[in-house]
Amino acid sequence: MASRIYPRSPDLSERALEAETLLNRYPDLTRTELSTLIRSFVHLPLLDYGLLAADEQLGPKLDAFHRDHGHELRAPVGGLMWAMLVPAAIALGVLVWAVA
């Protein structure tokens, strides 16, 4: 039976490396560093988040960070709204043009 070799997970992105460094020192962060960490997690790709969450040493710190600041980790709604509004406006314009 042939075995499959799967590629290794990609390395963490630069933003995730910065978040990892700050998370290792959590909760001993300055206000600026805490703001940077929160911003990093808001825009962190899911793969990077998963790799950080799977790290056994970061687990307790990540849990504490989420407990203390989870309410601040929501993605900005503005970008999502535009991503939905523009295609809907184009579709509506095409529909109006087709009917006229």
Q: What is the pLDDT of residues 38-78, one digit of tens each?
A: 988 888 888 888 888 888 888 889 889 989 988 887 765 56
- Give domain limits for the chain: 14-75
**Beta carbons within 8 Å of 22's beta carbon, 6+ residues apart:** 29, 33, 34, 36, 37, 40
- The per-residue DSSP string of 31-58 comes to HHHHHHHHHHHHT--HHHHHHHHH-TTT
Q: Which residue has the higher pLDDT, 13 or 28?
A: 28
33 within 8 A of 22, measured Cβ to Cβ? yes
pLDDT category at 80 given cuts 50, 70, 90 is: low
pTM: 0.61
